[in-house]
């Protein structure tokens, strides 16, 4: 695949999975660490925050501290994220030239180093370089946030893409309680609010209550054809990026 040149103000769907489809999060502390990395590495300067160095904070959610360092100079806007057992999805908008490349390099290297040290392993953790798809069509954009946030359904409803999710209310409860996603914050539940920039998607899809209703409606009428189109678009447009 050819390399992609990221442009400011454009939106990209970034994703990658574990080498040989292996799990990349083994317990809650790994999830917390990756999410904290999303927060900590979204800065133009190296991660030298004292709190990041403290082992006891590597297994707790990102939060502000009274003695927090200077305000971060964010290089990307993290619009949405979802962590699955063996892969992740990010919806990013670049704020600085080279921002996505620098951010993904720090996240990939930092988390892989942490994981390998913790589990006493060597070698690559991720399956090659991350993939990126430019979100350039409105038809793509209006489905993508829902598609990303519905990914956890695969853990409970393997055939959700065909509309097989059983009781919708139960399905929504499962989604709202899935911690390793930005969805709870989008519907007003305090989860990892400091990680994402939510104003843009709120301006497009409505605030917390509207977002929740829209998700339920989308779930009620899952568009299998739109999902197939997204999958085909990914396979045809996904580009690797060397960090």
pLDDT tens-digit profile of 159-178?
A: 877 777 778 888 889 999 99
Longest dimension (CA), the chain: 50
pLDDT at 59: 38
- Tell me the fold of 11-134: Alpha-Beta Plaits (3.30.70)
Given a contact cutoff of 8 angstroms between Cβ atoms, the answer to whether 183 and 175 are in contact is yes
Average pLDDT of the residues in 150-162:
84
What residues form DSSP beta bridges with 87? 17, 84
pLDDT at 202: 93
> Are β-strands 11-17 and 87-94 bridged in parallel, bridged antiparallel, or unpaired?
antiparallel
Q: How far apart are CA 43 and CA 106, in angstroms?
A: 10
What residues form DSSP beta bridges with 94? 76
Q: Mean of the per-residue pLDDT values for the chain?
A: 83
pLDDT digit string (tens) for 167-221?
888 888 999 999 999 999 999 999 999 999 999 999 998 999 999 998 888 777 7
* The two structure tokens encoding residue 185: 């914050």
Q: Which residues contact 192 (CB under 8 A, 6 or more apart)?
A: 35, 39, 61, 62, 182, 185
Average pLDDT of the residues in 3-11:
85
Average pLDDT of the residues in 37-55:
72
Chain centre distance of CA 112: 16
pLDDT at 238: 52
Q: How far apart are CA 7 and CA 95, in angstroms?
A: 9
Task: Give the domain ranges of the chain.
Answer: 11-134, 138-236
Q: How far apart are CA 93 and CA 198, in angstroms?
A: 12
pLDDT digit string (tens) for 69-85?
568 899 999 999 999 99
Q: What is the CA radius of gyration of the chain?
A: 17
Q: How far apart are CA 149 and CA 135, in angstroms?
A: 16
Question: pLDDT-based confidence at 55, cuts 50/70/90?
Answer: very low
Task: Render the burial of 180-192: b for 16+ CB within 10 Å, e for the rest.
Answer: bbbbbbbbeeebb
Given a contact cutoff of 8 angstroms between Cβ atoms, the answer to whether 78 and 185 are in contact is no
Judged against a pLDDT cut of 90, whether residue 61 lies above it is answered with no
The runs of H, that is alpha helices, within 49-129 are 50-53, 99-118
């Amino acid at each position: 695949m050819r390399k992609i040149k990221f442009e400011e103000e454009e939106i990209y769907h970034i994703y990658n999975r574990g080498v040989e489809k292996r799990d990349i999060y083994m317990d809650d502390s790994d999830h917390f660490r990756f999410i904290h990395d999303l927060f900590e590495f979204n800065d133009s300067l190296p991660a030298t925050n004292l709190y990041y160095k403290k082992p006891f904070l590597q297994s707790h959610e990102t939060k502000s501290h009274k003695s927090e360092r200077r305000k971060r100079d964010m290089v990307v806007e993290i619009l949405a994220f979802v962590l699955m057992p063996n892969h992740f999805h990010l919806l990013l908008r670049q704020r600085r030239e080279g921002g996505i490349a620098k951010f993904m390099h720090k996240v990939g290297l930092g988390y892989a180093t942490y994981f390998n040290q913790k589990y006493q392993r060597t070698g690559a953790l991720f399956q090659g370089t991350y993939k990126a798809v430019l979100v350039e069509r409105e038809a793509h954009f209006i489905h993508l946030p829902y598609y990303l946030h519905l990914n956890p359904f695969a853990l409970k409803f393997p055939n959700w893409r065909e509309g097989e999710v059983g009781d919708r209310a139960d399905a929504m409860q499962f989604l709202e309680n899935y911690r390793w996603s930005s969805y709870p914050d989008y519907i007003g539940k305090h989860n990892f609010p400091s990680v994402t920039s939510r104003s843009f998607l709120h301006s497009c899809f409505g605030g917390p209550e509207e977002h929740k209703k829209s998700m339920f409606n989308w779930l009620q009428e899952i568009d299998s054809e739109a999902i197939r189109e997204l999958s085909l678009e990914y396979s045809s447009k996904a580009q690797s990026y060397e960090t």
